[in-house]
């Protein structure tokens, strides 16, 4: 390892110190010169020059000195060492055990117990890298990964050099004169004077056009014809042109009906007779030698030539633009102006005329088509005086700027080729990324984990930074299921999605925003729905926000001629599952479409910046069909906030809305308020949407349900509040199936039920709920004014306060002991209502099921809370444990761990096959006698339970036993004579399933709620 002494480095200052650090860095193992040369684009530089460039520029641009080191993944002080090129300090850290605490790059995390840097240095080309724990797929070899990262660097460095023609504030007259002299010296004599056809479209420019005409008449090349195409002017422009033509026969007026600049230019081309064609707008002028020098500079291979522009801005300033560009440069920005371009007329015949379907950036389109076929040569002289004064009045400037992306799409995507392209995969998932590389990596990893091998991921990098490009390339370099395509410049999301489609190979293509989080088993329902109905074009999952409240259940039209709004936004997911699934349009945040239908519709329209692109696509693809799109509620996606996208799109919502209505006005599906009515909601009025320009959101009320019979309960709307977070971890809480089973039971009793997780307690549509039932555990929910508020305390009794209990209309508790104590302290009648089971799921096995002999425990280890004492004790007595739950591998032998997550629908079978179900309670629950529902479920399934000490197990007639010490636990788990025989267990199970079912709990809750409600409203309930 090369070092520099502190005394010597202290004496060096300024450039000398920088040169010394560059020398040290270049000579160290920390600096991979080949890697850095690729990323910087300095492929001919020496290691010292590369290291110096890194210190001066590369570190600040996000470059890395080594393919397996990403400075942003290191602690701040180490990142400073790396960015400052302090090789000795950085290497000291890389050699230290501290550096094994984190990944060094997306594909390298050193293992503990070995010198980390030496570990990397000793790797052979075929050795597989030690990858981070969350890496998906087969780890790449050292050689594969390094080669791929270097290749990515070359590709991105080349892309970074792409640019438009340089714009400068001054002009090198000497260089121009030298070039002209060289051209004149090389020109053969006599000079041929070929005919040049000049096309000048004009519309209501009677004053400006004469200046342009004069600049043509002043040309030193005299063999020209000027075709002035009047585009249906309403002033005296045509008369002015005719007068000019009467004075010079080379001026030819052409009159056409008003149809835009493309049609006017095409009319001029149709009349052209020259070998060459040039274009001049009526508000610009040529320099006198423009045609002469352009023809002289053509050469043999160029399809056309173009000169520099002298641009006069509205404020009077002058700029110059000109430089050699090629097709790839032009994809970044148009660097060739039509006013300075001269073409072979045969070239125009080959590439075709101006595209009259375009309303803006028409010049760009033609230039791209020509550049794709061959060379357009830059001639370094000022050929055109270009005016930007009054440019806002030009007809093309009144159209959306995004026409440039429609033009770029024509150059980037061959839709006819897409029609013929084979699609061997079942599905492709397209993800568009703009910065936020770490979030995107986590997103793609989740897609890879939750989809089969015949599903690929296409990542579209919408011109992200070098760092983001590098970490994503490195992460997926060796993964055959991931393909990456990079946009040449930032483009609209619609165009980026189309680029992803063009890269895809799936018969179904799924588009996902990179801020969308997917929940388990999201793809299977989507593919199954499309498979089941061949008339479907596309589907979307149910999209919620991060609280679990609906973000979009599709789009719904609320007015005859207005943009749609997200259906049921702000509602709980259960409302969507009761709603019609057929949609007029899906959300662009997450949707799937048949590839052939997407191709036939030519994808999304790149003119749109926001989600109206998806709505527009759906309307075009459906072509009036009513059942072309659908929502799949069994597939759930979570839309997290994306401030960067919102900032880029929101200012253009009005432009998007105008574009949408101009295209679709009087052809929209009409108001679809009946979709709300199908759910029992009436629309009282429509309010302007604060986020969507031109949209109107319905304000709903629940339609009253009336009953004059005391025997028929009214259909009330219940909201069950549970403390689980709306996260993947929260999905594993037992509160989820508990609330779902209770909701199903209440529904069977004629009630309408929704479920809110913790952060959705105050969702915007809570005013629709008539009964609010809080299942009290760790988190408190505030009573809702106007509703009947019910509290059911099933755990964490120590957190419940006297004031909380007094705030509810009804209070229940799953403990006789606590209910009596709380009633005495508060004066509130706290009803006893134990937890419950679902007898349809939890019931005894038939005689064919063999019990495994294992002692089963399902649940997490609660490491941060001191662990599960009952499990730790069972391990201590060497019980034949089978553990299901996250992170058990940290505290239990691997042979005892069955998996991280046991799906809820598989729990009953697991209970039935076990010999004993192990159970424990939180200390406060055990103290107060709150028997948890694991006990009830297991006994309902016909399996005995061994539990920690808790009051109330007598309720289960010997099917549940507690222990006091390890000896007693060992006996209970090995000597099963205490277990009731099979017949008796069935009897106990039947009693538990009858008395402690969710149906029984639902009936009790409903009865008590109706008593309260009748007390408020009288015997006739509305």
Which sequence spans correspond to the domains of the chain? 14-163, 173-180+192-399, 411-434+490-683, 717-832, 855-996
* Tally: H helices and E strands in the chain: 39, 36
- Sign, CA torsion 859/860/861/864: negative
The answer for residues whose C-beta is within 8 angstroms of residue 182's C-beta and 6 or more apart is none
Peptide bond before 744: cis, by omega within 30 degrees of 0? no
pLDDT of 395 strictly over 60: no
pLDDT for 467: 83
- Whether 173-180+192-399 shares its CATH topology with 411-434+490-683 is answered yes
Q: Does the domain at residues 717-832 carry the CATH identifier 3.40.50?
A: yes
More confident residue, 950 or 396: 950
The pLDDT, as a whole number, for residue 1021 is 42
- Looking at residue 347, its pLDDT comes to 95
Which CATH fold would you assign to the domain 411-434+490-683? Answer: Spore Coat Polysaccharide Biosynthesis Protein SpsA; Chain A (3.90.550)
- More confident site: 1004 or 514: 1004
Are residues 806 and 822 in contact, defined by beta-carbon separation less than 8 angstroms? no
What confidence score (pLDDT) does residue 214 get?
A: 95
- For the residues 787-814, what does the mean pLDDT come to? 97
Q: What is the pLDDT of residue 999?
A: 97
On average, the pLDDT of the chain sits at: 91
973 closest CA partner among 961, 981, 982, 985: 961
694 compared with 198, residue with greater pLDDT: 198
- Cβ atoms of 375 and 343 closer than 8 Å: no
pLDDT exceeds cutoff 90 at 459: yes
pLDDT at site 938 = 97
Do residues 339 and 281 touch, judged by C-beta distance below 8 A? Answer: yes
Q: pLDDT of 22-80, one tens digit each?
A: 999 999 999 999 999 999 999 999 999 999 999 999 888 888 999 999 998 999 999 99
Mean pLDDT, to the nearest integer, of 122-138? 93
Confidence bin at 918 (pLDDT 50/70/90): very high
Question: What is the Cα–Cα distance from 115 to 233, expressed in whole angstroms?
Answer: 80
pTM of the full structure:
0.89
* CATH architecture classification, 855-996: 3-Layer(aba) Sandwich (3.40)
* 124's tokens: 């052979």
* pLDDT for position 7: 42
The answer to whether residue 118 scores a pLDDT higher than 80 is: yes
Q: Is 224 within 8 Å of 198 (Cβ atoms)?
A: yes
Instruction: Determine the average pLDDT of the residues in 716-722.
Output: 97
Q: What is 173-180+192-399's CATH number, 2.60.40.1180, 3.90.550.10, 3.20.20.450, 3.40.47.10?
A: 3.90.550.10
pLDDT for residue 309 is more than 60:
yes
Model confidence at 568, in pLDDT bands (50, 70, 90)? Answer: very high
Model pLDDT, residue 5? 40
User: Is pLDDT above 50 for 377?
Assistant: yes
Per-position b or e across 270-307, b if 16+ CB within 10 A of its CB: eebebebbbbbbbbbbbbebbbbbbbbbbeeebbbbbb
Q: CA 435 to CA 429: how far, in whole Å?
A: 19
């Amino acid at each position: 390892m090369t070092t520099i002494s502190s005394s010597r480095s202290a004496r060096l200052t300024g450039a000398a110190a920088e040169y010394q650090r560059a020398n040290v860095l270049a000579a160290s193992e920390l600096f991979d010169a080949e890697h850095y040369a690729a990323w910087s684009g300095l492929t001919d530089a020496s290691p010292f020059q590369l290291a110096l460039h890194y210190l001066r520029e590369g570190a600040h641009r996000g470059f890395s000195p080594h393919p397996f080191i990403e400075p942003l993944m290191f602690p701040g002080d180490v990142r400073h060492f790396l960015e400052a090129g302090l090789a000795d300090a950085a290497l000291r850290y890389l050699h230290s055990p501290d550096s094994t605490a984190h990944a060094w790059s997306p594909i390298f995390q050193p293992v503990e117990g070995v010198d980390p840097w030496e570990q990397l240095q000793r790797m052979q080309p075929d050795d597989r890298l030690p990858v981070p724990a969350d890496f998906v797929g087969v780890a790449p070899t050292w050689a594969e990964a390094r080669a791929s990262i270097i290749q990515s660097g070359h590709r991105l460095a080349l892309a970074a050099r792409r640019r438009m023609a340089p714009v400068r504030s001054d002009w090198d007259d000497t260089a121009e004169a030298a070039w002209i002299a060289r051209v004149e010296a090389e020109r053969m004599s006599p000079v041929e004077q070929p005919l040049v056809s000049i096309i000048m479209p004009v519309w209501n420019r009677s004053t400006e056009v004469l200046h342009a005409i004069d600049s043509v008449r002043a040309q030193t090349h005299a063999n020209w014809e000027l075709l002035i195409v009047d585009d249906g002017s309403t002033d005296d422009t045509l008369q002015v042109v005719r007068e000019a033509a009467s004075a010079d026969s080379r001026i030819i007026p052409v009159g056409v009906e008003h149809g835009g600049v493309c049609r006017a230019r095409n009319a001029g081309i149709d009349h052209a007779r020259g070998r060459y064609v040039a274009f001049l707008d009526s508000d610009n002028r040529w320099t006198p030698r423009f045609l002469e020098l352009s023809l002289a500079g053509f050469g043999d291979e160029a399809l056309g030539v173009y000169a520099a522009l002298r641009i006069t801005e509205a404020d009077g300033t002058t700029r110059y633009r000109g430089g050699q560009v090629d097709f790839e440069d032009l994809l970044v920005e148009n660097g060739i102006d039509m006013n300075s371009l001269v073409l072979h007329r045969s070239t125009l015949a080959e590439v075709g005329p101006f595209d009259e379907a375009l309303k803006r950036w028409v010049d760009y389109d033609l230039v791209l088509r020509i550049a794709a076929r061959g060379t357009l040569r830059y001639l370094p002289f000022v050929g055109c005086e270009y005016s930007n004064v009054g440019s806002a009045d030009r007809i093309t400037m009144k159209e959306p700027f995004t026409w440039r992306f429609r033009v770029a799409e024509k150059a980037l995507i061959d839709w006819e080729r897409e029609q013929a392209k084979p699609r061997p995969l079942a599905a492709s998932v397209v993800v568009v990324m703009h910065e936020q590389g770490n979030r995107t990596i986590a997103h793609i990893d989740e897609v890879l984990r939750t989809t089969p091998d015949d599903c690929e991921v296409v990542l579209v990098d919408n011109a992200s930074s070098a760092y983001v490009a590098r970490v994503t390339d490195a992460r997926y370099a060796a993964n055959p299921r991931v393909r990456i395509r990079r946009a040449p410049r930032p483009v609209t999301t619609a165009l980026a999605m189309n680029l992803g489609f063009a890269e895809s190979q799936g018969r179904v293509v799924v588009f996902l925003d990179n801020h969308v989080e997917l929940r388990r088993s999201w793809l299977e329902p989507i593919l199954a729905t499309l498979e089941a109905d061949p008339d479907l074009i596309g589907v979307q999952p149910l999209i919620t926000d991060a609280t679990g409240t609906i973000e979009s259940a599709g789009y719904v039209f609320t007015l005859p001629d207005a943009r749609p709004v997200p259906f049921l936004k702000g509602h709980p997911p259960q409302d969507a599952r009761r709603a019609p699934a057929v949609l007029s349009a899906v959300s662009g945040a997450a949707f799937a479409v048949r590839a052939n239908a997407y191709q036939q519709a030519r994808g999304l329209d790149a003119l749109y910046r926001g989600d109206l692109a998806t709505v527009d696509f759906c309307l075009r693809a459906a072509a009036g069909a009513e059942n072309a799109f659908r929502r799949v509620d069994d597939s759930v996606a979570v839309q997290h906030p994306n401030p960067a996208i919102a900032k880029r799109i929101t200012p253009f919502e009005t432009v998007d809305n105008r574009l949408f209505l101009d295209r679709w006005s009087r052809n929209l599906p009409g108001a679809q308020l009946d979709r709300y009515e199908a759910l029992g909601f009436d629309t009282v009025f429509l309010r302007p949407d604060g986020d969507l320009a031109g949209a109107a959101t319905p304000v709903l009320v629940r339609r009253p349900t009336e009953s004059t019979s005391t025997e028929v309960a009214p259909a009330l709307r219940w909201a069950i509040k549970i403390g689980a977070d709306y996260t993947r971890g929260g999905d594993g809480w037992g509160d989820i199936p508990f609330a779902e089973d209770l909701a199903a039971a209440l529904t069977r009793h004629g009630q309408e039920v929704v479920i809110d997780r913790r952060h959705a307690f105050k969702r915007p549509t809570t005013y629709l709920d008539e009964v609010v039932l809080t299942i009290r555990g760790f988190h408190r929910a505030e009573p809702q004014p106007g509703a009947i508020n019910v509290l059911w305390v099933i755990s964490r009794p120590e957190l419940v306060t006297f004031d909380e209990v007094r705030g509810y209309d009804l209070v229940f508790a799953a403990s006789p002991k606590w209910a009596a104590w709380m009633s005495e302290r508060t004066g509130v009648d706290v009803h006893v209502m134990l937890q419950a089971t679902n007898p349809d799921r939890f019931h005894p096995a038939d005689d064919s099921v063999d019990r495994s002999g294992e002692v089963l425990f399902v649940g997490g280890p609660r490491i941060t809370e001191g662990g599960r004492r009952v499990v730790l004790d069972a391990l201590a007595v060497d019980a034949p444990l089978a553990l299901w739950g996250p992170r058990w591998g940290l505290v239990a032998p691997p042979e005892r761990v069955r998996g991280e997550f046991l799906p809820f629908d598989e729990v009953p079978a697991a209970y039935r096959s076990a010999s004993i179900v192990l159970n424990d309670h939180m200390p406060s629950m055990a103290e107060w006698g709150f028997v948890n529902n694991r006990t009830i479920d297991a006994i309902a399934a016909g399996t005995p339970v061994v539990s920690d000490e808790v009051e109330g197990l007598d309720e289960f007639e010997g099917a549940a036993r507690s222990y006091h010490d390890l000896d007693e636990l060992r006996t209970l788990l090995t000597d099963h004579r205490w277990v009731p025989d099979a017949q008796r267990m069935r009897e106990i199970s039947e009693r538990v399933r009858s008395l402690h079912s969710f149906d029984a709990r639902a009936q009790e809750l409903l009865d008590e709620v109706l008593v309260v409600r009748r007390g408020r409203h009288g015997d006739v309930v509305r």
